[in-house]
Structure 1
C-alpha cells in the first residue's frame, strides 16, 4: 500500500491513535491522508489533508478509528471502489471492529508482516424517493411518537408476500444482524451468509416473525399508513409518507474488511452479545472483577487481548 486513508469518529479525540498510525506509516514509506475537516479538527502534524472525494478515490486501504458507526461510514465511503478497511474500536460496543484501540500497534505490525487477510461483505441497496442509498448494517423504518404505527405491504421478487403493522421494520444484512435486528428479537446470522433479513419490532398485527430472503430476492415495501422515520446504518435519513415505496436488493462484494491472524474479534463479539442481556450497567460489571485484576487493568499491565 502506498496511500492509506484515515476515517475518524466525528467527535471523539483519537489523536493518540492517529500518532501511532503516523509512526507506522512513516517507517514503512506509506502516505497517510485524512479529510481536510478531520486534519483541521485534530491539529496533528504529518497528516496529509485531502477532500473526501479524493480520500475515497485514491487510497489503497482505510483505517477507521471510532466505533461501529465510523467503520460503516468508511465502508460506505469506498463502496464505489472497495478497498480493505481495518476497524479499530474506540466506541462502546464495537461488534464490527477487528481490534480494540489498545491493540492498534499489534495490528499494524501484523499487517506489515503479512498476517492479515481480507473478507468480502455485501450491503443493501435501497431505492427511495430521495435516490439510491447503501446500508452495510441495516435500513430501518421506525415509528415516530404521535405519527402512528409503521404500516406497510411487502412484495418479494415481484410477488405480494404480506403486510406489517409494527413499531419498526428492520431490514438488515447478515453483518448487521447483531444490531437493531438482534435487539428486536431477530436471529444472529453469520456475516459470511448472504441475503436480506426482515424483522418487525413490536408487531401488532400482520407478519410477526423474522424472514431471511435470499441474495437474488429483491423486496418492495409500500407504506400504507403512518409517517415513520427512515434510518440507514443508524443515521436518520428522513421521513416517509403513506404511498412511498422502498425497493431493496442485495449487492455482493460491496466492501472489504481486514481480518488479522489470531484475532479474537469473534470471541469478543460473542461475549459482548451475552453481556447485553445482563441487567447491569458496564460500570457495575467492573465491580464483579476481583480488585487485584482491576488494579492491573488500571495500571495497564493486564494483557490487552
Structure 2
C-alpha cells in the first residue's frame, strides 16, 4: 500500500462512528489511506481497509486511538515490537494519555501527516507471567478473588529476596501507571520524566506495607507462596490469568517502547495536572475553567470583559 497509512484503534464498545467519519472525510480529501483490524470492519466505512490485527501497526505510518486511556494503552501495546506514533482522540473520562478532542481533529490530522508534532516516549513492563510473555504500559497487578483470602507473594530484586506481601492486591507500575491502580492503592505519583518501577501493595495485612520504588535496571520477581489465595493477574486492567494458585511473575522495565503524539505538550501537561487534582484535591475556579471546551471558555471570557467606555 503506497502513501501515508493511518491505522485506527477503536474503543471496544463505545460508538466511534462520528469520529471515524471525520477521519475518513479528511483522508479522502488528502489522499491518505486508512486501515483497521479485521474484527472492526463493521464499525467503519467501506473505504477503510480491514487487516489482520497482527499487521495493523506494521502497515501503518501512524496510529489513531479513538477512546480513552484504555484504548490508547491497547494501541501502544499493539505497536510495542515496532513502535509507531500514536495520536489519542478523547472519548473517555479523565484521559491522561489522550490529547485531542473530536472537534479539533482536522487540524490535528494535518499536523500528524506533516510530522508537525513532538513524540512523548513511554516505557513498558515486559513480563513473564507463569511462562507467558506480555507487556504493560500502566501496570501489572496480582489481585485476590473476593472472599478467598489474600495475595501472598515474595519479592526478589535482581535475584535478591527482599521480603513478602500479604494484601488484597499487588501492583507493579511504570511512571505512567503511577496515576492509575498504584495511586488508588496509596502509591506515589511518579513524574513521567522519571524512569522507575513502583511496587505497591493494596490493603496490606502483613509483610511489606509501603511502596517500593526501584531503578529501571532492576528486575522484579514476584512468586506466589503456597498459602496464597487464588489470584487474577491483570495487565493494564485486562485479566490475562484467572485464579492462579502458583507460579511467578518476572518484570523488567523497557524504555522507549511506546510513542505518543503531542501537539501541545505544555497545555497537555497543564490539563493533566488539573485532572489529577480532580481525584482528591480542591480546585481553584480558574483551574476548573481550563477543563471547559475552548468555545465555552472563550464565551465566558467575553462576558467578563469590562464594558467599553
| Count of matched residue positions in the alignment of Structure 1 and Structure 2 | 293
User: Equivalents in 1 of 2:103, 2:165: separation in Å?
Assistant: 44
Q: What's the counterpart of residue 274 of structure 1?
A: 277
Matched, 1:210 2:189: no
User: Equivalents in 1 of 2:114, 2:35: separation in Å?
Assistant: 22
Q: Is the 8 A contact 2:145 2:243 kept in 1?
A: no
Q: What's the counterpart of residue 284 of structure 1?
A: none
The correspondence for 1:234, drawn from 227, 233, 237, is 237
User: Equivalents in 2 of 1:140, 1:2: separation in Å?
Assistant: 38
**Cα offset for 1:7?**
0.2
User: Equivalents in 2 of 1:67, 1:9: separation in Å?
Assistant: 8
The correspondence for 2:296, drawn from 291, 299, 302, is 302
Partner of 2:19, secondary structure, is helix
Question: Unaligned regions of 5+ residues in structure 1, if any?
Answer: 280-288, 291-295
User: Equivalents in 2 of 1:125, 1:104: separation in Å?
Assistant: 33
Partner of 1:94, secondary structure, is coil
**Cα offset for 1:29?**
2.4
Structure 1 range deviating more: 22-31 or 211-220: 22-31
User: Equivalents in 2 of 1:85, 1:268: separation in Å?
Assistant: 19
Q: Is the 8 A contact 1:197 1:213 kept in 2?
A: yes
Q: Is the 8 A contact 1:163 1:207 kept in 2?
A: yes
**Cα offset for 1:31?**
0.7
**Cα offset for 1:165?**
0.8
**Cα offset for 1:303?**
4.8
Question: Unaligned regions of 5+ residues in structure 2, if any?
Answer: 283-287, 299-309
**Cα offset for 1:278?**
6.4
TM-score, normalised with respect to structure 2: 0.87
**Cα offset for 1:233?**
0.3
Q: What's the counterpart of residue 254 of structure 2?
A: 251
Q: What's the counterpart of residue 285 of structure 1?
A: none
When residues 43 and 99 of structure 1 are mapped into structure 2, their CA distance, relative to the original with a 3 A threshold, is closer
**Cα offset for 1:56?**
2.5
User: Equivalents in 2 of 1:156, 1:219: separation in Å?
Assistant: 5
Partner of 1:99, secondary structure, is coil
User: Equivalents in 2 of 1:277, 1:55: separation in Å?
Assistant: 39
Q: What's the counterpart of residue 34 of structure 1?
A: 36
When residues 112 and 82 of structure 1 are mapped into structure 2, their CA distance, relative to the original with a 3 A threshold, is closer
User: Equivalents in 1 of 2:161, 2:265: separation in Å?
Assistant: 46
User: Equivalents in 2 of 1:246, 1:119: separation in Å?
Assistant: 28
Q: What's the counterpart of residue 161 of structure 2?
A: 160
Q: What's the counterpart of residue 13 of structure 1?
A: 15
TM-score, normalised with respect to structure 1: 0.88
Q: Is the 8 A contact 1:6 1:62 kept in 2?
A: yes
Q: Is the 8 A contact 1:115 1:261 kept in 2?
A: no
The correspondence for 2:264, drawn from 244, 258, 261, is 261
Q: CA RMSD in A?
A: 2.7
